Chain A
Amino acid sequence: MRFAVLVFPGTWSDWDCVYALEDLGQTAERVWHRESSLDEYDGIILPGGFSYGDHLRCGAIARFSPVMSALERFAATGKPIFGSCNGFQILCEAGLLPGVLLRNASLQFRCQPQELSVERADTGFTSACEAGQIVQLPISHGEGQYFAPPTVLDELEDARRVLFRYSGANPNGSVRDIAGIVNPMGNVLGMMPHPERASDALLGGTDGNYIWRSMIERWG
């Protein structure tokens, strides 16, 4: 597959994502936020970081970048968009996913390995897993507390759009332990954890590859 890894000023997981995908034999190109077309790509990654220094709110300025209208068009085609960390925040700000990410309940930044339960395995992002499987992916954020009104949460649950929940101690106070959700079409995933940091055995884990492999299988 040919992936675009979007780069905003302040993005920092761009190279990490490029390397993780290249290590799996995929093509991944960093694409600057001023780009206006994404038509030539098969999948889009919105990596972590502090786009625009998190000024105003995380992701609040990035959503006005030129590339965002291309991203919205891309989403409508059904091809995959994956946002992690700041990428998840941007997807929420842009309205491609519901809800918001608030400051961690601890009011402190948290960087640590984190266990997640895979809620379902019949999606384009999780088909390489088994339902109920526990995977370990690092988290690294100060504003990762997922929040949405109860009606929205019930909608998400009813449509089984929660793909990942924090397992064990909830690291940021996210409502209903939500760590990652998809859009109704199932082609836009946002999650706080970083699969690109668990894609190399040398760094102590490869569970992130479940997500990449699932995407490649479904959309490659």
Chain B
Amino acid sequence: MAQFPLPADAAPAEADDEVLAQIALSRREYELACQMLGRAPSDVELGMIGALWSEHCGYKHSRPLFHHFPTEDERILTNLGEENAGAIDIGGGWVAVMKIESHNHPSAIEPYEGAATGVGGIVRDIFAMGAQPIALLDSLRFGPLEDRRNRRLCVGVVAGIGGYGNCLGIPTVGGELVIGDSYSGNPLVNAMCLGIAPRGALISATAGPPGTQLMIVGADTGRDGLHGATFASVELDESSAERRPAVQVGNPFLEKSLMDACVGLVRDHRDWLEGLQDCGAAGITSSTVEMAERANAGIRIQTQHVPRRESGMTPYEVMLSESQERMIAAVKPDHVADVQAWFEHWDLHAEVIGEVTDDGIARVLDGDLEVAAAPVSVMTNPPAYEPYAERDADAASRSEWDPSSLPDLEPSAANDALLRLLASPNIASKRWVYRQYDHMVGTNTVVTPGSDAAVLRVRGLKQGLAVCTDGPGRAVELDPYAGAARAVAEAARNVACSGARPVAVTDCLNFANPERAPIYYQLSESIRGMSDACRAFHTPVVSGNASLYNESEDGPVTPTPVVGMLGVISDVRQAVRMAFRDEGDEIWLLGGELDQNASTLGGSEYLAVLHRKSAGPIDVDLEAEAALVETLVAGAEAGVLKSAHDCSDGGLAVALAESAMAGEVGVVVEIGEVERLDAALFGESGGRAVVSVDADQAQRLATIASRRGVVAARIGTVGGDRIEIGRIGLELATASDTWNSALPALLDG
């Protein structure tokens, strides 16, 4: 006899290859499910298991690696993976809540709606916890913009992010735009959201005790987004466009009302609720089953009670629809009417669609018919895989290539090299992007987009929050461990340049098909590298998302772990920006020498732009990086730093030029005899930052740095209207024109 009897009114599902392919379940996984159930699943059960066991929901290939991540310290209030987002105590009675998530596949097919609903989903993760979303960031990757197809994706994605985010009244304050060959046809669209709440005011995504009523609120349920979680878990191919129905359509206006209503409900009437959860990937299935799992309970869902926007929907479609802007509230039985009345104020309808049970079974009813009755524990325990891992031979040999085998940059070509780098879309001003995003609404954006990190104030709190994202894919491809560690280091440096101490990380792991050895090597080594770096900065990983199977006909994407970093500034009035300020200020280089070895060109933007080469060694010194972070934070807290900017893409010369262009003031830096001119100007050795100080504060800076074992040297002066860096000599206006016009020239018209 079956361990768990078939639902009363269902037959075992057909499970031919076509059915299994549609839900991306392998034959072995199907057999495993049968074994766990003691029988074959029904049609609805199979759909639910397929969705929950998809890579997107089940993290089959990444979960076994998560134990590497440091996840705890005294500030962290949530356990990794147990809630919709991670929560961090930021002091003063407030907590920050954050998460980053991908919407890569939908954006590849339908860039506007794909990106828009990516924003919608990540925002719901934040307000599902009862936190008020206060900032969005978007980390974007596209193929070369000379290609019309990639331009269309970029323009559409940026418009979609703006179209949705702007309507919500949440400022989009930062992110990245990186162009690389491998992203053609498989763009990466990662959205991060930051929220805040008073300490003790968060709500969990649990179902509560038996008898708790499950209510759906927000949009009616349609057939849109069916199998979206599955779609996110397979490679893209020529038939992917036919998956367009798997891409949802967003309604940001509805989301805004839903957000205001939910945040207000948790703030004012948390006692009416047991839990709150958003309906994301796999819709009602994943939200209710995961809530039941957290409560160690069962659920009974009546699909006839789910408000629909289409007629004739089957229970299967209702359970697996990914219609946007829906939330599930677990409501105490006595407060169902209260909750309904609360949502009515926003013209939102809340309906009871089920309840929590005590038998651990996820039951689905279609009127009087029982169509699913499988244990929650089966649905939420997909198999985990640790495939064979082996480093890609080509990447390994490229990482061993010695950049000193290239002839050095001719001094007479230095100006041209800088201008070409400033015109590279990876370095060029991103104003074309961020002026399409409302980055000021909420009147908390103290440092607006364009600096190393965005800084937000929390009204009534002395502390400020700094946020940024970083994901140096090229370095990760060459050396997954060191490259991923660099991603964390760069992010830590960026928040530290704004004066903030890094406190926590959220990460989005964008990789190709992990079933292949070189990809699994990239994934597992990246996680190890990020983990070690997070330990070095004392920044636990509090939340994240894995997006695997990022491949198109053109091949796999460059491995791109994106790190979202949160930092806390002890006094928001001391936030530091990238821009140079006053004539005569001294410019100091922290964390390294002017003279650099050729190896620092490994994986650099200089090699990519001037030599069309992605090769060379990737180094990272976490101890030195941590000391630099400490120096920057201490310098900001002492009020010494007038500007700070890290040396990353394009090295020292680009960092100096960017600070000058942002401040609309010139720069004069001496570079004497150096071993390699290219490495001195454009080498990307980590752990360095360019700061400016009042001349009479320079000694204090030197003391702060030396106490932390950080090399500090005065290298030049702010002033004039030219960029003079050793053999580079340019009008500031020429550099600015190049830097400002590069993206509009590629993307407008």
Contact = CB atoms under 8 A, between A and B. Distances in A.
The A interface, classified by DSSP as helix, strand, loop or mixed, is mixed
B441 A140 contact: yes
Contacts of B441: 12-13, 16, 48, 140, 197
B572 A9 contact: no
A29 to B, nearest CB: 16
Interface residues of B, number: 33
A109 B169 contact: no
B310 to A, nearest CB: 21
A103 to B, nearest CB: 13
B100 to A, nearest CB: 22
B65 to A, nearest CB: 39
A200 B443 contact: yes
Interface size class of A (residues with CB under 8 A): 20 to 34
Given A9-B347, A53-B167, A140-B441, A112 B435 contact: yes
Nearest to A49: B169
B259 to A, nearest CB: 10
Contact of A12 (B163, B256, B446, B573): B256
Nearest to B345: A32
Interface in A104-120: 108-112
A197 B253 contact: no
Interface string A151-175: 0000000000000000000000000
A41 interface: no
B517 interface: no
Interface in B345-383: 345-347
A202 B437 contact: no
Contacts of B446: 202-203
Interface string A31-42: 010000000000
Interface string B234-253: 00000000000000000111
B443 A20 contact: yes
A74 to B, nearest CB: 24
A57 B3 CA distance: 59
Interface string A43-58: 0000011101111000
A196 to B, nearest CB: 7
Contacts of A112: 435
Contact of A53 (B162, B253, B434): B253
Interface string B416-439: 000000000000000000111111
Contacts of B257: 9-10
Interface in A178-216: 194, 196-197, 199-200, 202-204
A12 B257 CA distance: 11
A99 interface: no
Contacts of B346: 9
B457 A202 contact: yes
A136 to B, nearest CB: 13
B443 A110 contact: no
B168 A138 contact: no
16 contacts: A16-B443, A50-B167, A50-B252, A50-B253, A52-B253, A53-B253, A108-B159, A108-B436, A109-B166, A110-B435, A111-B436, A138-B440, A140-B166, A140-B438, A142-B162, A202-B457
